[in-house]
């Protein structure tokens, strides 16, 4: 392997055309510079610098051809060193981010990626679509670094809440439904409707918003049909199989046959929470806490 210090001497001598000026630039004695250059020439088996001129020293033909390679090697080493130090400081490397579908629709995930790209360009954000329960398990196990989830009564130990995004609710329904032409739409108009919720085996999160609506409007206990995700729920709603009490950002889906209507007498909201695992570098945490687009957790 070639000695980087010897490469630096060769490039400096070629640039300055003078051993002493090259040595001064590198902060070493001229004798040290000469020995390093000789060591490089010995390793390559050829002379790189013509010696003996009283005015200047110049590269040999082999030296002139080798000079671009030597410069590139030094630049690569310098860049590698910077990357290594950035990795050590937590300012570079992969960062796995779990997110629920609504985080993309609401702009929370794109804003997080943009914030990190601007503050820490060496970080490679790797988003992974996951439901909230799966994210919390992965965060606790260290399989993901950040999570964008729906609120829960408690978070995994050592997790830190970084930001919270709040948005209003709309009712999503088939464009052919009589509810679509009801204006204004009231909570009581939803009596007897099947509510589609993109959650399995949970009584918290979005399922709670339906229960809260029914309680506030004094409706009978609503029929809830659980689906695997928002796309499935939206497709069923567009087909007239029920309605969704959905985050307002879901209206950006623009799914054929699906319309969104506000409730005139219910001002419910839903949150998205950004969490960081205990192992996340402090630089990442600081950058996301400074993001003006989110409310601090």
pLDDT at residue 38 greater than cutoff 50: yes
- Which pLDDT score, from 0 to 100, does residue 228 have? 82
How many helical (H) and strand (E) elements, i.e. helices and strands, does the chain have?
10, 12
Supply the CATH number for residue 216's domain.
Answer: 3.40.190.10
Arithmetic mean of pLDDT over the chain: 88
Same domain, 262 and 186: yes
Of the listed ranges 81-95, 118-132, 174-188, 215-229, the one predicted with least confidence: 81-95
Percent of the chain topping pLDDT 70: 90
CB distance 120 to 284 below 8 Å: yes
In this predicted structure, the answer to whether residue 177 has a pLDDT above a threshold of 80 is yes
Q: What is the CATH number of the domain that holds 11?
A: 1.10.10.10
Q: Under DSSP, is residue 168 helix (H, G, I), strand (E, B) or coil?
A: strand
What total of structural domains would you count in the chain? 3
Q: Which helix (H) or strand (E) holds 70?
A: helix 61-88
pLDDT band at 167; cut points 50, 70, 90: very high
Residues 105 and 180 placed together within one structural domain of the fold = no
133 and 249, same domain (yes or no): no
Residue 297 is predicted with a pLDDT of: 47
Residues 276 and 157 reside in one and the same domain? yes
Across 208-218, average pLDDT? 83
Rg (CA), the chain: 31
DSSP state of 121: T
Instruction: Indicate the range of 99-113, 190-204, 211-225, 279-293 predicted with least confidence.
Output: 190-204
Instruction: Answer yes or no: do 146 and 239 share one domain.
Output: no
Residue 296 pLDDT more than 70? no
Q: Whole domain around residue 218: which residue ranges?
A: 167-270
The reported pLDDT for the residue numbered 237 is 96
Judgement on whether residues 83 and 118 belong to the same structural domain of the protein = no
Model-level pTM greater than 0.85? Answer: no
Higher pLDDT, 78 or 44: 44
């Amino acid at each position: 392997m070639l000695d980087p210090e010897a490469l630096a001497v060769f490039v400096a001598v070629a640039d300055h055309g003078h051993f002493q000026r090259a040595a001064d630039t590198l902060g070493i004695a001229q004798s040290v510079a000469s020995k390093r250059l000789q060591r490089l020439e010995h390793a390559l088996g050829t002379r790189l610098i013509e010696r003996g001129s009283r005015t200047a020293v110049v590269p040999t033909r082999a030296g002139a051809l080798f000079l671009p390679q030597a410069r590139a090697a030094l630049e690569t080493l310098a860049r590698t060193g910077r990357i290594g130090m950035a990795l050590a400081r937590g300012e570079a490397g992969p960062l796995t981010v779990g997110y629920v579908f609504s985080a993309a629709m609401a702009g929370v995930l794109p804003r997080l990626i943009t914030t990190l790209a601007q503050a820490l360009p060496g970080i490679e954000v790797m988003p992974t679509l996951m439901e909230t329960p799966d994210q919390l398990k992965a965060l606790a196990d260290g399989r993901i670094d950040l999570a964008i989830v729906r609120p829960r009564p408690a978070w995994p130990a050592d997790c830190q809440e970084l930001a919270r995004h709040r948005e209003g609710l709309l009712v999503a329904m088939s464009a052919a439904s009589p509810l679509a032409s009801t204006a204004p739409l009231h909570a009581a108009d939803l009596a007897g409707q099947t509510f589609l919720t993109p959650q399995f085996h949970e009584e918290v999160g979005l399922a709670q918003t339906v229960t809260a609506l029914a309680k506030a409007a004094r409706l009978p206990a609503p029929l809830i049909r659980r689906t695997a995700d928002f796309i499935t729920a939206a497709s069923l709603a567009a087909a007239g199989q029920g309605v969704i009490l959905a985050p307002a950002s879901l209206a950006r889906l623009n799914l054929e046959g699906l319309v969104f209507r506000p409730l005139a007498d219910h001002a419910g909201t839903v949150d998205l929470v950004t969490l960081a695992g205990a192992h996340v570098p402090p630089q990442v945490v600081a950058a996301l806490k400074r993001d003006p687009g989110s409310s601090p957790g």
